[in-house]
């Protein structure tokens, strides 16, 4: 394992270990603190599912990638087993850590991230599960249908949940929920790789947190079911590739990025779409994988080095650069913060992949501000 990959892996496991270890021992509710604006008791119906679903959605590609390195492979097998134990516990009503799916709005979001994580590593997070666990998980997913999602990126949460039912060959998977999400996001495309979060533009990272990655994953699962869905794949992929280049250009020479918009406490989860493009080979030709790795490494180093990111027991705390409680909106709690794991998606590439093997190279802003003659980016139609 090269030093950079080892650094990425150590960072991901530092974040994820408290969640998966506690849940595998049915002790997440006991151990995880609940930091939020307002009354922590009001978040206890959703924050634990947030922590688990968001941890898995970022870790899943690594869990699905067998390693030729003996040490890394032992870790992968260990954490995959912890994740499966968590999946069994989270929907078992006899367990202390049984999670809330059937009431409240926030569980729609995090049931969706949990479903997306399973879809990113079905060979580790679905196929090995006992039939009874699969049945309970599917019932938990179905229970989210009792609430109507908001008419914005939330439509994709309902869609990805239906995709898990589709993957499980459940006869009651609902193509209408998927079609509505795809149709509305097609309508909300604004140009040059950007979607509206609903009918209007909002300057934030939700194209990366949710919209572009979920569009890719929804179509990967069900794109062949209907001709009109399959016809969307080309445009969605082209837009995601172009949008990834925007994200790379936001990374400063120092490894910082613009703290703009809401949900900034997801930290480097702001680069979910760039990390996914690297994982899936969707980077544009002018953006070499090693350049993206170098840029994301700088962001990870800068973020992880900030004092106060973790409490004394290793749990994430609210903030962008360290501990900044005012960065947490009313819907943010400790569990929310684990969407940051999505920056680590390229760990799902084998160590022999160009992303890991090619030498370091300066990223766009580092080259520009070093005085290098660098071409401008132009819009796509």
5-36: b or e for each residue (b if 16 or more CB lie within 10 Å)?
beebbebbbebbebbbbbbbbbebbeebebbb
Q: For the chain, what are the domain ranges?
A: 3-368
The Cα–Cα gap between 361 and 292 comes to 9
Contact assessment for residue 62 and residue 12, using Cβ atoms and an 8 Å cutoff: yes
The Cα–Cα gap between 72 and 376 comes to 40
The Cα–Cα gap between 186 and 81 comes to 38
201-235: b or e for each residue (b if 16 or more CB lie within 10 Å)?
eeeebbbbbbbbbbbbbbbebbbeeeeebeebeee
The Cα–Cα gap between 2 and 7 comes to 9
| Half-sphere exposure for 11 (CA within 13 Å, toward CB) | 26
Q: Closest Cα partner for 19 from 344, 334, 324?
A: 334
Task: Report the pLDDT value the prediction gives residue 1, as an integer from 0 to 100.
Answer: 64
**Cβ burial, residue 329 (10 Å; 0-12/13-18/19+):** middle
**Cβ burial, residue 49 (10 Å; 0-12/13-18/19+):** buried
Residue by residue, what is the 3-state secondary structure of 165-208? HHHCCCCCCCHHHHHHHHHHHHHCEEECCEECCCCCCCCCCHHH
379: tokens are 């819009």
pLDDT (tens digit per residue) in 156-189: 999 999 999 999 999 999 999 999 999 999 999 9
Residues 6+ apart with CB under 8 A from 46: 100, 104, 106, 107, 110, 333, 335
Residues 6+ apart with CB under 8 A from 78: none
Q: Name residues of the chain where pLDDT drops below 50.
A: none
**Cβ burial, residue 381 (10 Å; 0-12/13-18/19+):** exposed
Strand partners, 195: 189
Element (H, E) at 365: helix 364-368
Task: Report the pLDDT value the prediction gives residue 42, as an integer from 0 to 100.
Answer: 87
The Cα–Cα gap between 242 and 284 comes to 7
Reply yes or no on domain 3-368 having CATH 1.10.10.
no
163: tokens are 């995709």
Beta strands in the chain (DSSP E): 189-191, 194-195
The Cα–Cα gap between 322 and 317 comes to 8
**Cβ burial, residue 319 (10 Å; 0-12/13-18/19+):** buried
């Amino acid at each position: 394992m090269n030093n950079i990959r080892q650094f990425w892996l150590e960072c991901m496991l530092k974040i994820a270990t408290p969640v998966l270890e506690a849940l595998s021992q049915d002790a997440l509710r006991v151990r995880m603190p609940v930091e939020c604006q307002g009354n922590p008791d009001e978040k206890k119906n959703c924050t634990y599912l947030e922590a688990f679903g968001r941890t898995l959605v970022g870790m899943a590609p690594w869990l699905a990638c067998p390693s030729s390195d003996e040490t890394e492979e032992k870790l992968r097998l260990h954490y995959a087993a912890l994740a499966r134990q968590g999946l069994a516990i989270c929907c078992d009503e006899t367990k202390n850590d049984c999670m809330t799916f059937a009431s409240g709005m926030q569980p729609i979001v995090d049931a969706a991230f949990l479903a997306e994580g399973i879809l990113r590593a079905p060979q580790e997070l679905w196929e090995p599960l006992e039939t009874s666990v699969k049945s309970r998980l599917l019932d938990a997913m179905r229970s989210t249908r009792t609430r109507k999602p908001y008419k914005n990126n939330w439509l994709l949460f309902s869609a990805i949940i239906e995709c898990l039912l589709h993957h499980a060959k459940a006869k009651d998977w609902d193509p209408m929920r998927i079609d509505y999400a795809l149709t509305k996001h097609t309508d909300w495309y604004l140009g040059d790789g950007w979607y509206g979060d609903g009918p209007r533009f909002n300057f934030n990272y939700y194209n990366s947190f949710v919209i572009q990655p979920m569009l890719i994953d929804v179509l990967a699962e069900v794109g062949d079911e209907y001709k009109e869905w399959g016809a969307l794949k080309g445009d969605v992929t082209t837009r995601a590739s172009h949008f990834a280049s925007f994200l790379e250009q936001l990374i400063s020479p120092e490894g910082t990025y613009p703290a703009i918009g809401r949900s900034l406490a997801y930290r480097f989860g702001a680069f979910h779409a760039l990390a996914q493009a690297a994982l899936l080979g969707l980077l544009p030709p002018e953006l070499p994988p090693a350049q993206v790795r170098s840029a994301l490494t700088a962001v990870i180093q800068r973020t992880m080095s900030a004092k106060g990111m973790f409490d004394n027991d290793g749990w994430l705390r609210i903030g962008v650069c360290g501990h900044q409680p005012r960065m947490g909106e009313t819907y943010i709690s400790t569990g929310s913060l684990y969407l940051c794991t999505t920056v680590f998606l390229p760990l799902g590439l084998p160590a022999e992949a160009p992303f890991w093997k090619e030498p370091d190279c300066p990223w766009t802003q580092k080259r520009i501000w070093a005085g290098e003659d660098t071409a401008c980016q132009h819009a796509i139609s």
